[in-house]
Structure 1
Amino acid sequence: MPHSIQSHLRLRILYDEHIAIGPGKAELLEAIQRTGSISQAAKSMNMSYRRAWQLVDTMNQCFASALVETQTGGTHGGGAVVTPIGQQILQSFREMEQHAKQSMESYVAQISQHLKA
């Protein structure tokens, strides 16, 4: 049976001891964009609302401008939007992940040549 060779990379941007943005927070931002709600985003990720809110709060505290803005309930209910700066941060992070993964490929190939058959 042939062996499976995989590489795994998890990038994070730290601000002091806090993860300002990482794969989980990027996924949360994408879910908020999709659903328009922190609560619905959390449900779609099998995460508690409290945890999702903590992650959003950490992101908003780390950056000079909020990445997510919320509206309290009313006739149309509450909601959340990823701000333009949040969208920019998300896009930059995803591009950074892609570039890092591409730059790893040749190294993974070199190392893979020396793994047991």
Structure 2
Amino acid sequence: MARKQLFDIKGAFAIYKEDELFLGHTQYILLKALISEGSINAAAKKCKISYQQAWTLADRMNRLSPIPILIRQKGGKDGGGCKVGAYGEELIRLYERKMQQFSEEMMLLNQDLDSCLL
């Protein structure tokens, strides 16, 4: 039976622009939920965050982005909505690739850590 490692190096993966959080885990799941739900309100419910928090995160991402991530549709007969544009979809793919690389590097950093510290 393998023994549990006592020491771990941990870190959180996020992308910053000029020291301001641009894309982290919550933003990532919000973008994914916006694709499936089509509105900030529905996406917020799916992510179990408030509408205000979802709106703030979406607005900050759009403000920091060189290209709009979210395309907002004004209310009308069927109500408004919000959809993730092509650039936003590319950001999701980039986040997934870089997160995978980050996870692999963290595993390598943790390999045999106990033998160095005990």
TM-score normalised by the shorter chain: which range applies?
0.7 to 0.9
Number of equivalent positions = 115
Structure 1 outlier segments of 4+, above 4 Å: 2-8, 112-116
Any residues of structure 2 matched to 1:44-63 within 5 Å, and which? Answer: 44-63=46-65
Deviation at 1:36, TM superposition (A): 0.7
Superimposed CA distance per residue, residues 31-73 of structure 1 (whole angstroms, 9 cap, x where no aligned partner)? 1011011100101111111110000010001111111111121
The answer on whether the counterparts of 1:36 and 1:79 sit within 8 Å (CA) in structure 2 is yes
Deviation at 1:8, TM superposition (A): 4.3
Q: Which runs of 5+ in 2 are unaligned?
A: none
Any residues of structure 2 matched to 1:89-108 within 5 Å, and which? Answer: 89-108=91-110
1:32 alignment partner, one of 23, 31, 34: 34
Number of the residue aligned with 1:10:
12
In structure 2, C-alpha distance between the alignment counterparts of 1:7 and 1:31, rounded to whole Å: 30
1:79 equivalent in alignment to 2:81: yes
In structure 1, C-alpha distance between the alignment counterparts of 2:5 and 2:44, rounded to whole Å: 33
The answer on whether the counterparts of 2:9 and 2:109 sit within 8 Å (CA) in structure 1 is no
Secondary structure in 2 aligned to 1:70? strand
Q: Which runs of 5+ in 1 are unaligned?
A: none
Percent identity of paired positions between Structure 1 and Structure 2 = 26
Deviation at 1:18, TM superposition (A): 1.7
Q: Which has the higher contact order (CA 8 A, sep 6+)?
A: 2
The answer on whether the counterparts of 1:42 and 1:49 sit within 8 Å (CA) in structure 2 is yes
Secondary structure in 1 aligned to 2:112? helix
